[in-house]
Structures are given as structure tokens and as C-alpha cells.
């Protein structure tokens, strides 16, 4: 399988070289795609250096400003499609996602359209370095999203994922309204509506190695709004089906 790994970056200069070394050491990783939003700390320049060192495997997309996680993924998906990737993996740049899990994600993808690196299946979890309030917020958000949207996956907000290229071609990527972290929830919602097979591989989510978290209160509010909007969509579709001619 030709595999592209997409990593959006913003101020990850202290993490990107280490991540690149780990990814490029994996024979299963064909391409490493960095999508940088004009990081003021020089992440983009470091990415260019990595590309010059390994031009056949590293690709860098520079964007003029911080434009959000969703559009970063869209740019990365387009590059992966142009390269001819069979599998597309998304992950964080900050060290919270262990690259050593990638072979397990790819192995599971042989019989699934979407594989999620999950904290909420047996064997998964979050490191104790996270405060109890962060763990509680994450678990609560996933539980609410799982129930409200009827999602079968337990970790609905994990950004560590492996997509089959065929699924990405079918998803209404241009019609997804979310752009922050809730983009992940909306993408999963549409994948399930398409009938995609989803599996979860356990991961231990680590705290970032360097830098500050990008999850702000505004992002949390946007995520709540996205879940509310998708819940209305789900209920509306259910009512339309129940009133369709010939429905018992």
C-alpha cells in the first residue's frame, strides 16, 4: 500500500524534526506531507529543509496564515490524491501520537475503510500526565458525541486516523462546514452515513512534547455547535424516513 501521512503544523519547530525521523524510518510510510500555516517559529523553514534532504518522500504545503485544521486536512488530502496514495494517515505533530502505531493502523485498514487510533477501546488510554480535568473533558465530549450522533466509534475526536483513498473520494469533503477540531467529528459522521466500515486500534495518547495546546475555549464552543448541528441533521433525516411513502 502506498501510504501518505498528513501532519498539519503551526509552531511545531521543536517537534517536527523528531517526528520526521520516526516517520521516515518506517518502510510502510511512502510520503510525509507537512501542511504549515506560516508558523512564526520557523516550522515551515525546517519543513523545507526536510524536503530538500528527502525530496522523494517529504512534501510541504505552505499556507499564508493559520486557516484551521479542516482546510489543512483538505490541502493534505488533495496532495495525497495527486501522489496516488492508497491509504492516508492523519496525525498530530506534537508527539502525542506514536508513529510506531502506524503499521497496526495499516494492517487494520485491509478490512476497514477508516481506522481510528482510539483512547477508548480496551488497551487504549491517555497518559497520566494529563490533568484529571482534561481527561474528564475528553471522555465526556466523546461520550456525548457518540450518543447524540449515533456514532459506532468510541473515540470520535481522535485525529490519529487511517483513511482508505476510496472513502476519501466518496466523502463530501467540500461540503463539510467545520474547520477546527470538530472537523474530525463531522468527517466521521459522514463516513458512517456512507456505510463505511470503521475499526479502532488502541493507542496511548501522550501529552505534547513541546509547545502549547491549540485547543482553546472557542474551539470547544465550536465543537459543541457542530455536534448540535449534526444532531439536528440526524433527527431531521430520521423524521423524513419515518414519513416517507410506504414506511410502516
pLDDT at position 214, please?
52
Whether 244 is covered by a domain: the verdict is: no
Whether 178 is covered by a domain: the verdict is: yes
pLDDT at position 75, please?
96
With a cut of 60, say whether residue 216 has pLDDT above it: no
Average pLDDT over residues 33-45: 97
Decide: residue 235, CB within 10 A, 0-12 exposed, 13-18 middle, 19+ buried: exposed
CATH number of the domain that 121 lies in? 3.90.550.10
Mean pLDDT, the chain, rounded, equals 88
If you search the block for the grid coordinates 467545520, which residue do you land on?
178
Burial state string for 151-177 with b = 16 or more CB within 10 A and e = fewer than 16: bebbbbbbbbbbbbbebbeebeeeebe
d(CA 22, CA 97): 11
pLDDT at position 103, please?
98
Q: Using one digit for the tens of pLDDT, what is the confidence trace for 146-164? A: 888 999 999 998 999 999 9
Whether 217 is covered by a domain: the verdict is: yes
pTM of the model: 0.87
Residues whose CB falls within 8 Å of the CB of residue 173, separated by 6 or more in sequence, listed in order = 74, 77
With a cut of 80, say whether residue 135 has pLDDT above it: no
Q: Kindly report the backbone phi and psi dihedral angles of residue 199, in degrees, each rounded to the nearest multiple of 5, phi listed first.
A: -125, 160
pLDDT at position 246, please?
54
pLDDT at position 91, please?
97
Which domain covers residue 210, as residue numbers?
3-238
Residues whose CB falls within 8 Å of the CB of residue 73, separated by 6 or more in sequence, listed in order = 6, 8, 35, 90, 183, 187
pLDDT at position 240, please?
62
Whether 111 is covered by a domain: the verdict is: yes
Amino acid at each position: 500500500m502506498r501510504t501518505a501521512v498528513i501532519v498539519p503544523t503551526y509552531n511545531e519547530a521543536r517537534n517536527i524534526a523528531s517526528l520526521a525521523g520516526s516517520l521516515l524510518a518506517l518502510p510502510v510510510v511512502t510520503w510525509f506531507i507537512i501542511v504549515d500555516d506560516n508558523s512564526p517559529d520557523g516550522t515551515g523553514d525546517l519543513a523545507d529543509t526536510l524536503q530538500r534532504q528527502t525530496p522523494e518522500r517529504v512534501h510541504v504545503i505552505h499556507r499564508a496564515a493559520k486557516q484551521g485544521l479542516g482546510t489543512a486536512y483538505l490541502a493534505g488530502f488533495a496532495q495525497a490524491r495527486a501522489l496516488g496514495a492508497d491509504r492516508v494517515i492523519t496525525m498530530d505533530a506534537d508527539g502525542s501520537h506514536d508513529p510506531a502505531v502506524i503499521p497496526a493502523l495499516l494492517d487494520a485498514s485491509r478490512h476497514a475503510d477508516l481506522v481510528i487510533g482510539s483512547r477508548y477501546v480496551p488497551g487504549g488510554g491517555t497518559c497520566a500526565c494529563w490533568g484529571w480535568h482534561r481527561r474528564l473533558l475528553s471522555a465526556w465530549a466523546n461520550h456525548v458525541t457518540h450518543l447524540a450522533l449515533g456514532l459506532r466509534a468510541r473515540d470520535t475526536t481522535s485525529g490519529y486516523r487511517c483513511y482508505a483513498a476510496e472513502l476519501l473520494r466518496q466523502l463530501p469533503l467540500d461540503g463539510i462546514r467545520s474547520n477546527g477540531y470538530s472537523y474530525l467529528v463531522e468527517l466521521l459522521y459522514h463516513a458512517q452515513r456512507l456505510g463505511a466500515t470503521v475499526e479502532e486500534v488502541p493507542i496511548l495518547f501522550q501529552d505534547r512534547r513541546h509547545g502549547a495546546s491549540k485547543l482553546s475555549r472557542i474551539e470547544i464552543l465550536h465543537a459543541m455547535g457542530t455536534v448540535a448541528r449534526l444532531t439536528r441533521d440526524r433527527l431531521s433525516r430520521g423524521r423524513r424516513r419515518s414519513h416517507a411513502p410506504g414506511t410502516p
